[in-house]
Every structure is written in C-alpha cells, then in structure tokens.
Chains A and B, each alone.
Chain A
Amino acid sequence: MENFSPLTALIGGAMIGLASALLWIGNGRIAGISGIFGQLLPPARTIVWRLVFLGSMIGAGFLAAILIPGLGVGGPEGEQAQLIGSPLWIATAGLLVGLGTKIGNGCTSGHGVCGLARFSYRSFISVIIFFATAIIMVSTTGIV
C-alpha cells in the first residue's frame, strides 16, 4: 500500500464529478470521454465543443502539473509518465480501447461515472464486465 493516496484520489474524483455535473446541467451532455472523442468527424453534427472539451483537458493537465507539482507523474517536477509494453502491445491496447468503447457505447467515465450515477442497467453490466476483464488481464499478463 506504499502508493496509496486516498486524499488526492477523493479530490481528483470530486473534480471529475463536478466536470460531469457541469456538462450535464449546462449542455445536457454525458461526460463520456470515448463518446466525445469518438464523434470528432462527420457525420457528427457538433464538433467544436468536443474539440474545446478535449483541448481543455490537455491544457488543464499541463497547468495542474505545474501549479500542484510532485503528485506523481507529470509536469517539470514530476516523474515522466510511462506506457507499459512494446509499441505493438501499446498499439493493440489502443485499438481495443477505441473499438470496445465504441461498440459498447462508453468507457470508465460514461458508463462508470455518469451511467452508474443514474442507475443505468446497461452501464451497470458494462462496468462489471470491463472491470472484471481488466482485472483478469492484469493477473494473467502479470505486467505489474
């Protein structure tokens, strides 16, 4: 439990919750990142706000790492974030994340946060399946 960080986890989680709240109250949109990302090209009819949202995520990560340094990875004073595995492994993982979230209509944010919080049956099933699968993957590959 050496890396256990419950306080920053709660604060960060609350910010993600507030972000989802804002997008729902203001724009009536579910803050599901795979959905926002996955509809960046036509025939999607609303693209600008998606680019604004995703660009703000990147900018905020960059700024937060400078303003609140030393939480872990990121920023000039943090450790360099690292992707695990060979380029082929990473490419396969990326492909599966993109494909799976599109077919299954959501990811950790859309199903995991927004879906569970409105008692969506589909989201509940989705979250159980993707968590269980990911846990089994980590156990079988033994990458950590």
Chain B
Amino acid sequence: MQTTIEQRATSVPYLLTAGLSGTLFGAGLYISQMVDPLKVLRFLDFGAIPVGGWDPSLAFVIVAAIGIMLLINLWTKSWAAPLFDTEFHLPKFKQLDAPLILGAVLFGIGWGMSGICPGPAITLVAFMPENLMIFLGMMFVGSYAGTYVQHWLSTKELAHGHEGS
C-alpha cells in the first residue's frame, strides 16, 4: 500500500521516535552543560590555553556523540530504509559550494558572539534566561531569510556554472 510522507511522518511510532530522540537530545544538552553559553565560550576560548583557563569539556561531548553515530552508520549501512519510513533522508548536496562556506562563516560569527548554537537555543527555553526570546526570534528570522539568500546564491551559481562549461 502506497503512503505519503505526510502519512508516514505522523504515524504513532514515527512521532514516538521523534519525541524520545528530542528527550535524549535535550537532557544530553543539559547534562553536558552545553546549555550554558559561558561554558561554550570558555571552550571556544583557545587564547586561554597558555594561561590554563581553557575548558576542554565540550570536546568530550562531540567525541562521544560522533563515536556512537559512527557505529550506528556502520550498522545501518546496508539497510534499505529506516524502521518507520520508506527512505533515509540524506542531504542532496554533494559538492563544496559558496553557500556552504559563507553559511559556516556566518554561523561561526554568531556562535562565537553568543556561545549558543541552535540545539541549546531551543533547550534553554526550559530555563528562560533573559533575552533568550530575542535570540530565538532573530534565529527564526535569519533562518527564513536564509531560504531566499540560498535561492539567490544557487541561481547565481548555476548561471556561473553555465558560463564555465
């Protein structure tokens, strides 16, 4: 029987998986204290390494998370589909392009200014620090504005690509 993505993505097991995954993610961000912008900034503060003020904790977060996903990727490599959908959703982009690089630079500036990346930005709602809604609201605006910038960049890139070929 054919189902649509809307049907599959609203099935009970699908939504339970999303809920359980979000639960683990949010709890993990609190336990690792990635929800503390100051701790993240102290991790990014490589200038403090020579004077002994650097906090390397968050490297352990990344290593543990990547380690588990490495094993999972090896395990599921030969799977045709996940349990509750008919396909794995991988990004369709494969090439290095200007949007990837420009986006990473802009994100890096924002992350370095605030110590907040999108996961902690969401989870911090649980603790409601002052001015969080300003950050979240602007993150939302930036994300939607990005759709148009992305579109504009990709049409430019296509035109450029035709010239080159």
On A, residues with C-beta under 8 Å from B are: 1, 3-6, 8-31, 33-34, 37-38, 41, 45-46, 48-50, 52-65, 68, 71-75, 78, 80-85, 87, 89-109, 111-114, 116-118, 121-122, 125-127, 129-139, 141, 143-144
Q: Nearest A residue to B83 by beta-carbon distance? A: A26
Residues of B within 8 A of A8 (CB): 31-33, 57
Contact A53:B106 (CB < 8 A) given known A3-B42, A4-B55, A99-B142:
no
Q: Which residue of chain B lies nearest to A32 when distances are taken between CB atoms in the complex?
A: B118
Question: With contacts A33-B119, A122-B100 known, is A22 near B21, CB below 8 A?
Answer: yes
Which residues from A are CB-within-8-Å of B42? 3, 144
CB distance from A88 to the nearest CB of B (A): 9
Q: How many residues of B contact A (CB 8 A)?
A: 122
* 8 residue pairs, one from A and one from B, having the closest CB atoms: A104-B103, A12-B32, A133-B108, A98-B142, A137-B112, A102-B146, A17-B68, A100-B107
When the two chains form their complex, are residues B116 and A98 in contact, meaning their CB atoms are under 8 A apart? no
- B80-119: CB near A (< 8 Å → 1, else 0) gives 0111110111110111100111111111111111111111
Closest A residue, CB atoms, query B57:
A9
Chain A positions within 8 Å of B142 at CB level? 94-100, 102
B129 touches A4 (CB 8 A): no
B70 within 8 A of A: yes
Partner of A133, one of B57, B83, B104: B104
CA distance A112 to B134 in the complex (A): 25
Please give the distance in Å from A78's CB to the nearest CB on chain B: 8
For A98, give the chain B residue with the smallest CB separation: B142
- Choose one: B24, B67, B83; the contact of A15 (CB below 8 Å): B24
Question: Which residues of B are in contact with A by a Cβ distance under 8 Å?
Answer: 5-6, 9-10, 13-15, 17-39, 41-42, 44-48, 52-70, 72-73, 76, 81-85, 87-91, 93-96, 99-119, 121-127, 129-132, 134-147, 149-150, 153
Would you call A16 and B25 a contact (CB within 8 A)? Answer: yes
Q: Contact check, B103 vs A49: say whether CB atoms are below 8 A apart.
A: no
Please name all residues of chain B whose beta carbon is closer than 8 Å to the beta carbon of A63 when the two chains form the complex.
Answer: 27
- By secondary structure, the A interface counts as helix
Residues on B with C-beta less than 8 A from A25 are 72, 76, 82-83
Q: Which residues does chain B contribute within 8 Å of A106, judged by CB atoms?
A: 91
Q: Using Cβ atoms and an 8 Å threshold, which residues of chain B touch A133?
A: 104-105, 107-109, 111-112
- A122 adjacent to B93 (CB under 8 Å): yes
Q: Which residues on the A side are within 8 Å of B30 (C-beta)?
A: 12, 60-61, 64-65, 68, 71, 74
Given contacts A15-B31, A48-B9, A56-B26, A129 and B150 within 8 Å (CB-CB): no
> A93-B110, A113-B62, A113-B66 in contact; A61/B45 too (CB < 8 A)?
no
A105 and B102 CA atoms in complex are apart in Å by 11
